[in-house]
């Protein structure tokens, strides 16, 4: 009898970070359920590595519970953050589920039912990659390099390329929700 793989859900799955997380989690044996409001234009890296739920936020917990046969997600990697997604993510978690928050878009002040939180034995992790020094980042990238070089991991497609003089426009493109990587080049 095969063991049941625990499901990992991730929010904003079709973005660059979401696609990377899906690929890494799948390679490590997780069943990945990605959630997003829209599908990536070309299917993106998420297509081969996750079951993608295209769903409005209020319906997301029911969809995750259904997709996990009533167990909930063992891990949720929230690439969106903020009040709305935090509250929704906590309702998607399995017993002893882990919620990893890497962002706080919109309203960063959240509320949740403390009794539900401890009865579910939920674990909450905040991760700020800006706190990692160059040595830590280099180790992480070195560990991932073989899978990129072999083609096992695919980077997000390039959505737009800007010269350094247009860095403000590039940043605006990112904040306006561009799907894919925004690349800055020394000259165009």
Q: Quick one: pLDDT band at residue 188, thresholds 50, 70, 90?
A: low
- Which residue's structure tokens are 């925004």? 182
| 181 vs 14: CA distance, rounded Å | 11
pLDDT computed for residue 176 by the predictor: 81
The region that residue 69 occupies, defined by phi over 0 for left and psi between -120 and 50 for alpha, beta otherwise, is left
The answer to which of 35-39, 77-81, 116-120, 146-150 has the lowest mean pLDDT is 35-39
Yes or no: say if 36 and 18 are a contact pair by the CB < 8 Å rule: yes
pLDDT computed for residue 126 by the predictor: 92
Calculate what percentage of the chain has a pLDDT beyond 70: 84
- Does the global pTM surpass 0.85? no
| 179 vs 130: CA distance, rounded Å | 22
The predicted-structure confidence for 97-148, as pLDDT tens digits, reads as follows 999 998 877 788 888 889 999 999 999 999 988 888 889 989 988 999 999 8
Q: Using the predicted structure, report yes or no on whether residue 156 has a pLDDT greater than 90.
A: no
């Amino acid at each position: 009898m095969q063991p049941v793989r625990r499901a990992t859900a991730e929010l904003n799955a079709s973005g660059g970070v979401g696609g990377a997380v899906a690929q890494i989690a799948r390679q490590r044996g997780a069943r990945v359920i990605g959630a997003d409001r829209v599908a990536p234009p070309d299917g993106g890296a998420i297509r081969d590595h996750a079951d993608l739920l295209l769903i409005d936020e209020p319906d997301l917990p029911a969809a995750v519970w259904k997709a996990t046969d009533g167990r909930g997600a063992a891990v949720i990697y929230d690439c969106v953050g903020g009040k709305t997604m935090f509250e929704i993510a906590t309702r998607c978690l399995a017993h002893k589920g882990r919620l990893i928050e890497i962002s706080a878009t919109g309203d960063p002040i959240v509320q949740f039912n403390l009794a539900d939180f401890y009865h579910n034995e939920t674990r909450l992790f905040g991760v700020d990659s800006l706190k990692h020094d160059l040595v830590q980042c280099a180790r992480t990238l070195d560990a991932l390099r073989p899978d990129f070089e072999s083609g096992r991991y695919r980077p997000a497609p390039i959505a737009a390329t800007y010269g350094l003089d247009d860095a403000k426009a590039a940043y605006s493109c990112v904040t306006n929700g561009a799907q894919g990587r925004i690349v800055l080049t020394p000259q165009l």
